[in-house]
Amino acid sequence: MGCSTSSSAVSKPAHHADAAEKSTELRLLDEYSVGLTLGEGAFGVVSVCKKRSTGQEFAVKMVDKVETPVEQIKKEAEMLQSMEHPNVVKFHGVYYERCFVCIVMDKLDGGDLVEGLQRHLKERGQINPLDVVHVAYQMAASIQYLHSRNVVHRDIKGDNYLMDRKNMTEKSCKIVLTDFGTACNAAVTDRMDAGVGTKIFWPPEFFDRSYGHKVDVWAMGVIMYGLVSGRFPFR
């Protein structure tokens, strides 16, 4: 990554619509302490952070400004801020630091669906399809919500659905959709051509660079195939 965080970096919070209008600029480290790394990728890192005033834990996605255009990160933060659905990760603030843009979100403790599948296969064997109906319902609910707002995620995959517990077959297991870095606004009649997302979840029309909302539905089908069969159909 291009450079590391610093407590001297300047940022602008946007916890809610009114918070974005605050005249006093705050730093991420003014409000949160940053702890263990949860994941790392080309975009930057996701770490645990704890709100200093309450002790509550969240996740912070720190996107490297060198690797990703600031406008793209800003668009992701604004899109997340506008979302309000139980199966979409909840946004808590964005901070524009010197080297990173830091997006604070809910922290879920169960890992992602791919990790959940691997864990289940190792400990209990193949998943009974009836045991993940509630998972399918929640995935469909998140996608339906996005599409009702003319938003296409374009990177629906198991890695981007987080769980609030380790065992996805528990009926009370909640899942949320994350990572809106490739999401865009598009009407149901619009066609898109950008080759973004993860290839093994692309539908045929994606390769023709002419696709619409249904790419998210196809990708959900690929996830469900993987969950019930124990392996994903494409490599």
Whether 90 contacts 106, CB under 8 Å? yes
The residue assigned the tokens 């019930």 is 228
Catalytic residue among 64, 112, 131, 155: 155
Residue 159 is a catalytic residue: no
CB atoms within 10 A of CB 234: 10
Annotated binding residue 74: no
Catalytic residues: 155
Which parts are annotated binding residues?
Answer: 61
Residue set of the binding site for ATP = 61
